[in-house]
A and B are shown apart, each in its own frame.
Chain A
Amino acid sequence: MAVNTKIIKRRIRSVSNTKKITKAMEMVAAAKMRKAVEAALNTRTYAQMARDLLVKLSQSAKMHLPLLAVRPVKKLLVVLITSNRGLCGSFNSMIIKKTAQELADPKNISRQRIQHSHALEPSGDIACDVIGIGKKGSDFAKKMGYRLVASYSQFSDTPNLDDVLPIASLIIDAYTKKQYDKVVVAYTDYKSPILQVAKLRQVLPISEYDLEKMFLELGRGSASSEESHPADTNIQKSEHAPVEYLFEPDKENVLRTILPRLVETQIYQAVLESAASEHSARMLAMRNASDAAGDMIDELTLTFNKARQAGITQEIAEIASGAAASSS
């Protein structure tokens, strides 16, 4: 019996050590999450304003710029945003599963939607390449045999725009050179601390349709935390009456400045959303682990007490029976 209590005691100690660690990780994740969520929300304003401007500009005339060119899809580039480290619940498996699903049957994702009803069907076989942000995504791409064009895993917990710029310029370059016909970013949309959704979004070619969809969802996700910006009232006004703008120096120059920004912002936004999601997922996973450890400790303590009591009872019984035997 004495051995038994010893083993249980050791287990209790080890579980409570684990609990301490998970508790600490939960706190760290919570602190990082707050920062990441704030950064994600801050970026939404700029992204929204940039998109408004683009929509307004495209209303007035059709433009032929490389970043707006829609081609039938032959080569697809996926930017897969995951985390570097594990222990964050289903965060990585969710986004990887979603991506794997879409890439297994790339017909759907390769359709070029021009307008709400029209679509440009992909031509022939579709080749997929991957850019991995975060170790887990790169590992997945290697394992599945997709060509890994680039892999970035040195991001901090709250990425700067400067971190994202090389990726954006790589994508823009490749698209302009017609190496790819469509660029999609796979990220995890941060809805709330307990709800994150894995998503794939089109980045290039820049299409009004997809931007609209993206921002509609952004607006819904953050409706509680975001007040109406001047940009919001702006869209409503302009949608009623398209304004004729004066362009300085000219329209093409303006678009050349703003289009790459839009790509950068979209990727930056996706990275930030993913960071916010990752930390929330980790926090939740760690909280569950701490709770489970707590339950386990309670259970083990009960077993330990029972074993101890049983040991004492048995000892008394032995003494009593020994005394009874010697006195008789």
Chain B
Amino acid sequence: MKFCIATPEKVIYEDDVLSVSLPTMSGEITILPHHIPLVSVIAPGELRLNDREGNHMFAVWGGCVEVAGDTVTILADNAERAQEIDIERAEEARKRAEKEMRETKNRQDVDFAKLQAIIDREMNRIRVGKKYRK
């Protein structure tokens, strides 16, 4: 089964895989070969791949997945391989966003939504990164 995960900035990973598990808006799903064609929206979380060599883990955040024939394509807003996640920097980014959120009480809702999104994203990265380290 062909697998490809891309963000607007670059193609993160591209290979033949045996199975893919990923979080969607309606719960985690696992895609095995010969899955029926599917389009779904991705929820923040971790994505696991199984191929002949073993497991790969990614942190994903937003986007959608498309399964067609024997190809799984993931268009993610944000994705990163677990071993590449810099936990300290993610932690810092989260703290920065949280601090900003506390300090600016009277800003527009949009800014809050954006900050909250950053916090969520960094939390997700930290979680996946930590899980991988263990």
Q: Which residues in A have some Cβ–Cβ distance to B below 8 Å?
A: 39, 42-43, 45-47, 49-50, 53, 56-57, 160-161, 229-231, 233-234, 237-238, 243-249, 253-254, 257-258, 261, 264-265, 268
Contact = CB atoms under 8 A, between A and B. Distances in A.
A253 B39 CA distance: 10
B75 interface: yes
B114 to A, nearest CB: 9
Given A230-B2, A230-B4, A245-B38, A258 B64 contact: yes
A247 B8 contact: no
A46 B25 contact: no
B9 A39 contact: yes
B7 A245 contact: no
Given A161-B8, A231-B4, A237-B68, A254 B41 contact: yes
Contacts of B37: 243-246
Contact of B8 (A43, A53, A231, A233): A43
A265 B7 CA distance: 10
Contacts of A246: 36-39
B40 interface: yes
Contacts of A234: 68-69, 71, 73
Nearest to B25: A249
Contact of A257 (B6, B8, B41, B69): B41
Contacts of B77: 261
A258 B37 CA distance: 17
Interface residues of B, number: 29
Contacts of B71: 230, 233-234
A264 B73 contact: no
Given A229-B4, A257-B63, A50 B75 contact: yes
The 8 A-B pairs of least Cβ separation, nearest first, read A248-B40, A42-B10, A46-B6, A243-B37, A246-B38, A245-B37, A245-B39, A161-B8
A231 B64 contact: no
Contacts of B2: 230
A248 B38 CA distance: 8
How would you classify the secondary structure of chain A's contact residues: helix, strand, loop or mixed?
helix
B69 A237 contact: yes
Contacts of A268: 8
Given A245-B38, A246-B36, A248-B41, 11 more contacts: A43-B10, A46-B9, A49-B4, A53-B39, A53-B73, A56-B68, A160-B9, A230-B2, A248-B38, A248-B40, A257-B41
Contact of B6 (A39, A49, A237, A245): A49
Given A230-B2, A248-B24, A261-B63, A46 B40 contact: no
A171 to B, nearest CB: 15
B51 interface: no
Nearest to A42: B10
A206 to B, nearest CB: 15
Given A49-B6, A49-B75, A248-B38, A253 B25 contact: yes
B98 interface: no
B14 interface: yes
B55 to A, nearest CB: 21
Interface centre among B7, B24, B26, B39 (most CB of A within 10 A): B39
B11 A249 contact: no
A75 B78 CA distance: 34
B64 A238 contact: no
B7 A46 contact: yes
Interface in B56-85: 62-64, 66, 68-69, 71, 73, 75, 77
24 contacts: A43-B10, A46-B10, A53-B39, A53-B66, A53-B75, A229-B4, A230-B4, A230-B71, A231-B73, A237-B68, A243-B69, A244-B37, A246-B38, A247-B39, A248-B24, A248-B40, A248-B41, A253-B25, A254-B40, A257-B41, A258-B75, A261-B63, A261-B75, A265-B8
